[in-house]
Structure 1
C-alpha cells in the first residue's frame, strides 16, 4: 500500500512538472488605450495577474479614471494616498528637484490648456498662462499623514511623465515576487528588462528615428540598444504626440517655467536607469531642458545614462550620448 502511494505521488509530481514547465510566454494587448507587449520565462503566462496590476496602477495614477486616487485628490476630496501614489510622487519630487523644476507634476493645468491632458480648456493666451502659473509648482504640494496637502486648491496633479514607466515597474515587481529572472516588459514604448531573451542573449531594443508621425507608422531605427542585467529604458519625444496650428507644431512636452510647449533642440531623449519610472521621468525632463542643460544634469544624476537625438543647423540627425551609455550600444 505504501509503495502504491509513493508511486502515485511520483506520477503526480511528473504530471505537474510537465504541465508547469518553464518556458517563454508572450503577452500582448491594450489596456485603456495603452499598448503592452511582454515576454517572460515562467510556468504560465500570468496574463490575468498582469492585467490586475495594470488596473491597480491605473486606479491610482490615471486622471482619466474619475474614481482614481489622483482624480479624487484633484477634486480636493477626502482621499488618502496609497503606497504606489506615494512612490510615484516621491520620484517626481526627486527628479523635479534635480532638474530645477523642469519635471513638475503640478503642470496639469498647462497640459490641459494645450490640449494634451484630461481636460480641454480654452485656446492658450498669454493672460491665461500667467493666471495659471501662480498655482503651478511641485514645491506647493506635499504628503502629510497619508494625505496630499496643497497650498492652493486649484493645484492639479498629472503623473503622465512617469505613467508608462511606473506600470513597467509594477509588472516587474510582480515578476520579481514570483522569482522570474528573464523578462522584457514594454508598455507604451517604455521598457523594463531583466536577464536574457529566448535565444539566451541580452534583450535588444530599438530607438526609433524621430520623425513626425502621429500614427506611429514609422519604425525606422536610429540605434539598437542591448539591455543586460536589470534595467529600465524610456524614450521621450514630441514627434508623435503633437498638435499643429497654422503650420506650427506644438509638442506635448510642456516647459513648466513658461507654460508653453518646450521648443528645444532635442528631438528624442532615451534614458537608461535601474528602474523604468526613473528613466521615464528624466526622459521627459531632458526634452524640456534642452541639450546643454540636459548633459550637465548627468552630474547631479549619475544613476542615469542618456542617448540624445538632435538636428544640426542643416537639419541632419545627429546623436550624442553619455560615456556610460556606450556599454549598451549594439553594433
Structure 2
C-alpha cells in the first residue's frame, strides 16, 4: 500500500509533558511504503511502538498488493481457496458501500489498470486503447461478492486494489488500539491520512494542507491549516504521484468508467469524516468526480456528514472550496 503524504502535522512537537501529569509519547516508523507518526498523552508512559508495528504488519499480510503472500495477492493470483480476515472484510464492505454511493466511480477492482499504468506492484505495460478496453472487462465492483470468508469472482482475472482506502482504515485500527489502552488524546498519521482525538495539552490538534505543487521539495508550502476535533482526515491529489510519457501526464488516480487517469480541474481533495476509511475512500472518489460533480454529490448526500476542502484550477489560477461547516476550523495562508 503506497501513497504520498499531502499533509503536514502542525504544532505537534512542542507539547508540555506536565499537562495533568501525563507523558507525551511520540512514535514513528516505516510502513506500507511510507511513514507513520503518532503522538499521544499517556498516564503510564508506555510506548506501544512494538504493538503498533505488529498491527501494521498484520494489515499488510491481509491487504498489501506488494506482498506476494498477502490475502489480497493470493486472491488476485487465483491462488486456490483463500479465507479472508476481519481487516479484509471491513475494507471490502466499506468499498462496496462507497462504490454504490458513487455509482462506481470508486472501485477497488481497478487493480489491472493501476498495474498497467505502472502504479502497482507489477511492471508497466503498453497503454494502447485496445489494451485499456481489454482490461475494462475485469473492472466492476459488482463482479465480486463476499460470502462468509470467501471472495467470489464473476470471472477470473478480476484483481482487487485497496490502496485508495487501506491507509485510512489502518489509521482507524491504530486509533482504536490506542483507545483500547485508555488513551483519549492522540493523533495518528500514516502516509498523510490521519485521525485526531482529544487535545494536545490545552490546544487542539492542527493539520497543514500542502499547496498542490508538483515539485518534490522538502520545503513544502502550506495552503491552509485545519483544526481537527475528534475526526479523521484524508487528502488525495494528482500532482505528486504521476509521470509523463510522450508529452502526456498520467496520474495514479484511475477513472474506473473510462480506464484512463482522471482528468479534472480538481488538484486535491481533503475529506474530513468520523473515521479514516470513509475519508480516504471519498477523497479518491472526489478526485475522479471533479469539482462540480463532487459539490453536487455532497448536496445530495448530506447524510454522510462529510466536510471537504478542495483546491482546484480555474484557468491557471488556484482556488479553494470548503464546506460551510468547516470554514470556522480553517485558516487559509494565502
1:169 aligns with 2:175: no
Partner of 1:67: 69
What is the CA deviation profile of residues 181-204 of structure 1, one whole-angstrom value per residue up to 9, with x for unaligned ones?
A: 000011001111101114x21100
With over 3 angstroms needed to count, the CA separation of the structure-2 counterparts of 1:216 and 1:161, relative to structure 1, is farther
2:236 corresponds to: 236
Q: Report the counterpart of residue 54 of structure 1 in structure 2.
A: 56
Query: Is residue 223 of structure 1 aligned with residue 224 of structure 2?
Result: yes
The structure with the larger Rg is 1
Specify every segment of 5 or more residues in structure 2 that has no aligned partner in the other structure, as ranges. 1-20
Residue 142 of structure 2 corresponds to which residue in structure 1? Answer: 139
Deviation at 1:218, TM superposition (A): 4.5
Whether 2:176 is the aligned partner of 1:182: answer: no
Rounded Cα–Cα distance in structure 1 between residues aligned with 2:58 and 2:217: 27
Equivalence for 1:28: 28
Query: Aligned with 2:164: secondary structure?
Result: helix
**Residue 281 (str. 1) matches residue 281 (str. 2):** yes
1:319 matched to 2:327: no
C-alpha contact (below 8 Å) 1:57/1:170 kept by paired residues? no
Assess if the C-alpha contact under 8 Å between 1:216 and 1:240 holds in 2.
Answer: no
Aligned to 1:159: 162
1:291 aligns with 2:291: yes
RMSD of aligned alpha carbons:
1.3
Q: Give 3-state SS (helix, strand or coil) of 2:156's partner.
A: coil
| Per-residue deviation, 1:151 | 0.2
Select the structure with the greater relative contact order (CA < 8 A; seq sep ≥ 6): 2
**Distance (Å, rounded) in 1 between the aligned partners of 2:133 and 2:152:** 23
In 2, Cα distance between equivalents of 1:57 and 1:280: 16
CA displacement 1:113-156 (0-9 Å, x = unmatched): 11101112421110001111111100110101210000011100
Stretches of structure 1 that go unaligned for 5 or more consecutive residues are: 1-20
Aligned to 1:125: 128
2:117 counterpart of 1:86: no
Aligned residues: 307
Normalising by structure 2, what TM-score? 0.89
**Per residue, is there more helix in 1 or in 2?**
1
The Cα offsets for residues 141-178 of structure 1, whole Å up to 9 and x where unpaired, read as: 01012100000111000000012111111100101111
**Equivalent residue, structure 1, for 2:267:** 267
Normalization by structure 1: what TM-score? 0.90
